[in-house]
Amino acid sequence: RKEVEQDPGPFNVPEGATVAFNCTYSNSASQSFFWYRQDCRKEPKLLMSVYSSGNEDGRFTAQLNRASQYISLLIRDSKLSDSATYLCVVNLFPNTDKLIFGTGTRLQVFP
Amino acid sequence: DGGITQSPKYLFRKEGQNVTLSCEQNLNHDAMYWYRQDPGQGLRLIYYSQIVNDFQKGDIAEGYSVSREKKESFPLTVTSAQKNPTAFYLCASSIGRGPYQETQYFGPGTRLLVL
């Protein structure tokens, strides 16, 4: 089983739609969780950290479910500019400083 | 402007040649990392460094070498021993060890192609 698993997509949605991505992780000792965004042929950029109580940043909402070992990202009112690959990232700190990256879920928003 | 710079943007390697990828940061971060990204795969860690003059192997260190002589610089050498070097190479940095301090920030990357 992969350490971090994501549905590769692509998710094709119209502008204004709500879309949700899930990500599962295998190590129950995982401590920190993130969503990164990567545009085509560019570097990943931090979108948001994921906190135990869930957190929201504008149109983006992240949730963590430790019991089921998954995190989710909800995007409301999708914009064309949201088209990108979304990477789920997990850290096992304090056991390691390494981040484990999922392979990403591709989102394509169309007019 | 604070950030991470990588050079060159594109690099071509001939068979049997060693090449060095540059990574510089002015964020005053202690930790620096090198990743490799191949199509359809997640980022894989090559080497990382928590402090000057110290570094550790990541998951795919074979065929690569690094140095960390200065806090702001972490160059990666792709040696001739790396048989499949064509990939997108990403350098990252973070403040350092500790919960919520490990958020990593990436440079723009270097694309390495083999001639």
Q: What is the mean pLDDT of residues B100-115?
A: 86
Please indicate whether, in this complex, the C-beta atoms of A4 and B42 are within 8 angstroms of each other: yes
Render the burial of A10-42: b for 16+ CB within 10 Å, e for the rest.
ebebeeeeebebbbbbeeeebebbbbbbbeeee
Please indicate whether, in this complex, the C-beta atoms of A97 and B102 are within 8 angstroms of each other: yes
Q: How large is the C-alpha radius of gyration of chain B?
A: 13
Q: How large is the C-alpha radius of gyration of chain A?
A: 14
Give the closest of B40, B42, B106 to A43, CB-based. Answer: B106
Q: Which residues of B touch A (CB under 8 A)?
A: 31, 35, 40-43, 45, 48, 50, 58, 88, 90, 97-100, 102-109
Taking the C-alpha atoms of residue A20 and residue B67, their distance in angstroms, rounded to an integer, is 41
User: Which chain B residues are Cβ-neighbours of A101 within 8 angstroms?
Assistant: 35, 42-43
pLDDT of residue B32: 93
pLDDT tens sequence across B56-107: 999 999 999 999 999 999 999 999 988 899 999 999 999 876 555 578 899 9
Give the closest of B97, B100, B108 to A97, CB-based. Answer: B97
pLDDT tens sequence across A9-61: 899 999 999 999 999 999 888 888 999 999 999 999 999 999 888 899 999 99
